[in-house]
């Protein structure tokens, strides 16, 4: 695919990195030549310096031959105008815009072809707050990601000694946790050298304390799945948010009323604004989130979940480390730089969350070949899970009409769940080796390595000449 990315900021850089690794032809447009040079030195892509809303700049970037424009510049106005020019002047088939303002929702007439001609809207703050809200609801989990319109969830959880399944082999699951249909799709374990490695999930695979386990199950079974792998944590009641920016404010609005919320913001002017936007039972504090005295005075030791959501990676890391040391039960840091996230994940910081990675999946769903509904990027882009609709019949498809054991999935990849039917009649099926895939089934596939994507795409493609 020939793809133009407008904006070489944190989101644009992450998108470019992800798409380049899949052998797409990528051109990045940005006003900053130094940033582009740094990207070109690190990734196999082309950089064009200039303003992406100017037709001459888009033409230089190859817009006349482009299949897709992804506009993720800092300003909504730039992204919207760039999509309009891409469609009207260059007839680019697919346009995607990152839009922060809620005034421009996807699917509205304003975003349609007569308007700004945006095919898909990506809203990072919405994705991020939805992601964090799930972690508040299920504090034992490292990730909770949804498929099939919320019917299926992929859960990442750290196994703890004492859980019913921990210390046992996977084939014992029906006996140990009866009446709960689930599929273990991946286990990651530290070896003797401290290196993270994948353990293939088979019937004889034993779950050990400390394993990072990925499980697919119906959403209604999430709680029982978590209980099978670790003791249930006490519910989250008290939440402290460090940072009152877009993400902090949006999250506080969502959870205020259900939880006791304190939000700490360094700017006095911003604090005044927050006070007007949040209900009276949400406490807004003006101060430094790395101030030990402030955290002590606000009883951080009684906090169930401490969320560092400022725009400064270092402040978020330090605030979480301090809160954890002072007694906060669980801490989450928002970290833009991937190297930092890799460094601190699994240390005293329980969850290191990269904002860009939460939106990558939404973009990848539009890049994937075939009828792909949902994509989630996992383990900071190293792995992936996708939901696809299988089409055709036994003659035109390599999947339809075949048993799971007959489908040539790449080694380590697997079909974890099948959703059959639509609406209220939809059924969630955890498939076995003899389960037969039917036309129009939604299948959720786990890929331990991104390089497997092309193989799976070819497997799912319908061909009139395949027999």
Q: How far, rounded to the nearest angstrom, does the alpha carbon of residue 97 sit from its chain's CA centroid?
A: 18
3-state secondary structure 298-343: CCHHHCCEEEECCCCHHHHHHHHHHHHHCCCCCEEEECCCHHHHHH
Answer for the pair 52, 79: CB distance below 8 angstroms, yes or no. Answer: no
297: left (phi over 0), alpha (psi -120 to 50) or beta: alpha
Give the angle 433-435-439 at the CA atoms, nearest 5°: 135
On the 0-12 / 13-18 / 19+ scale of CB atoms within 10 A, 245 is middle
What is the pLDDT, as a whole number, of residue 10?
Answer: 82
Angle in degrees, CA 115, 118, 122, rounded to 5:
135
Q: What is the mean pLDDT of residues 31-43?
A: 93
Q: Residue 459 pLDDT more than 80?
A: yes
Cβ(75)–Cβ(88) under 8 Å? no
Q: Judge whether 284 and 274 are in contact, CB under 8 Å.
A: yes
- What is the CB neighbour count within 10 angstroms for residue 131? 18
The CATH superfamily holding the domain 128-229 is: Regulator of K+ conductance, C-terminal domain (3.30.70.1450)
* pLDDT for residue 236 is more than 60: yes
Q: State the pLDDT at residue 27.
A: 96
Q: Which positions ≥6 away from 403 have C-beta within 8 Å?
A: 433, 434, 435, 436, 437
CA distance 230 to 163: 4
The 8-class DSSP code of residue 195 comes to -
Q: How far apart are the first and last CA of the chain?
A: 28
pLDDT of residue 256 exceeding 50, the answer is yes
375 close to 446: Cβ distance less than 8 angstroms: no
Q: How confident is the model at residue 464 (pLDDT cuts 50, 70, 90)?
A: low
Domain with CATH 3.30.70.1450 in the chain: 128-229, 368-460
% of the chain exceeding 70 in pLDDT: 97
Q: Provide DSSP, 137-177.
A: HSTTEEEEEEEGGGTEEEEEEE--TTSTTTTSBGGGHHHHS
Q: Is the pLDDT of residue 34 over 70?
A: yes
Q: What pLDDT is recorded for position 306?
A: 97
Nearest CA-CA partner of 372 in 446, 454, 466, 443: 443
Superfamily of the domain at 2-122: NAD(P)-binding Rossmann-like Domain (3.40.50.720)
**456, 415 contact by CB (below 8 A):** no
Q: How far apart are CA 257 and CA 282, in angstroms?
A: 8
| CA dihedral for 105, 106, 107, 109, sign (positive or negative) | positive
CATH numeric code, 368-460: 3.30.70.1450
Residue 466 has pLDDT above 50, yes or no: no
* pLDDT bracket for residue 467 (50, 70, 90): very low
Euclidean distance between CA atoms 165 and 229, whole angstroms: 6
Percent of the chain's residues with pLDDT above 90: 59
Residue 465 has pLDDT above 70, yes or no: no
| pLDDT tens string 294-351 | 999 999 999 999 999 998 999 999 999 999 999 999 999 998 877 676 677 667 888 8
380: helix, strand or coil: coil
Longest dimension (CA), the chain: 71
pLDDT tens-digit series, residues 56-97: 999 999 999 999 999 999 999 999 999 999 999 999 999 999
Radius of gyration, alpha carbons of the chain:
23
Full DSSP string of 255-309: HBTTBEEEEEES-HHHHHHHHHHS-TTSEEEES-TT-HHHHHHTTGGG-SEEEE-
The C-alpha atoms of residue 456 and residue 452 are separated, in whole angstroms, by 6
Q: What is the pLDDT of residues 151-163, one digit of tens each?
A: 999 999 999 888 8
User: Which residue(s) pair with 5 in the sheet?
Assistant: 28, 70
CATH number 3.40.50.720 given to 238-357: yes
Q: What's residue 346's pLDDT?
A: 61
């Amino acid at each position: 695919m020939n793809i133009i990315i407008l904006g070489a900021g944190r989101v644009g850089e992450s998108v470019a990195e992800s798409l380049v690794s899949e052998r797409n032809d990528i051109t990045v447009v940005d006003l900053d030549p130094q940033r582009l040079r740094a990207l070109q030195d690190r990734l196999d892509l082309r950089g064009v310096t200039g303003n992406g809303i100017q037709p001459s700049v888009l033409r230089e970037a190859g817009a006349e031959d482009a299949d897709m424009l992804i506009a993720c510049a800092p300003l909504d106005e730039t992204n919207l105008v760039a999509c309009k020019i891409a469609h009207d002047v260059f007839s680019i088939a697919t346009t995607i815009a990152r839009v922060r303002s809620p005034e421009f929702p996807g699917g509205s007439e304003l975003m349609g072809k007569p308007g700004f001609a945006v095919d898909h809207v990506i809203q990072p703050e919405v994705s991020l707050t939805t992601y964090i809200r799930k972690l508040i609801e299920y504090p034992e989990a490292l990730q909770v990601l949804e498929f099939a319109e919320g019917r299926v969830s992929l859960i990442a959880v750290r196994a703890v000694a004492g859980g019913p399944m921990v210390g046992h082999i996977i084939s014992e699951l029906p006996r140990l946790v009866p009446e709960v249909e689930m599929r273990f799709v991946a286990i990651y374990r530290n070896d003797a050298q401290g290196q993270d490695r994948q353990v293939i999930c088979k019937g004889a695979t034993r779950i050990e304390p400390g394993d990072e386990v990925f499980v697919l199950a119906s959403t209604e079974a999430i709680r029982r799945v978590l209980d099978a792998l670790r003791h249930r944590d006490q519910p989250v009641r008290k939440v402290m948010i460090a940072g009152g920016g877009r993400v902090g404010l949006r999250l506080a609005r969502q959870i205020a009323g259900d939880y006791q919320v304190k939000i700490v913001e360094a700017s006095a002017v911003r604090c005044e604004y927050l006070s007007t936007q949040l209900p009276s039972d949400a406490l807004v504090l003006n101060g430094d989130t790395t101030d030990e005295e402030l955290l002590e005075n606000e009883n951080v030791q009684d906090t169930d979940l401490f969320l560092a959501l400022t725009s400064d990676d270092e402040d978020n890391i330090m605030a979480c480390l301090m809160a954890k040391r002072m007694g906060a039960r669980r801490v989450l840091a928002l970290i833009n730089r991937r190297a930092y996230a890799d460094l601190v994940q699994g240390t005293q910081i329980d969850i290191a969350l990269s904002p860009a990675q939460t939106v990558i999946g939404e973009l990848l769903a539009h890049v994937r070949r075939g009828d792909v509904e949902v994509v989630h990027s996992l383990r900071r882009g190293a792995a992936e899970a996708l939901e696809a609709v299988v089409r055709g019949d036994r003659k035109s498809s390599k999947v339809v009409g075949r048993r799971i054991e007959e489908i040539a999935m790449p080694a380590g990849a697997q079909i974890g769940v099948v959703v059959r039917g639509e609406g209220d009649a939809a059924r969630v099926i955890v498939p076995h080796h003899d389960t037969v895939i039917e036309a129009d089934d939604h299948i959720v596939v786990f890929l331990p390595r991104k390089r497997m994507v092309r193989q799976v795409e070819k497997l799912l493609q319908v061909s009139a000449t395949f027999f």
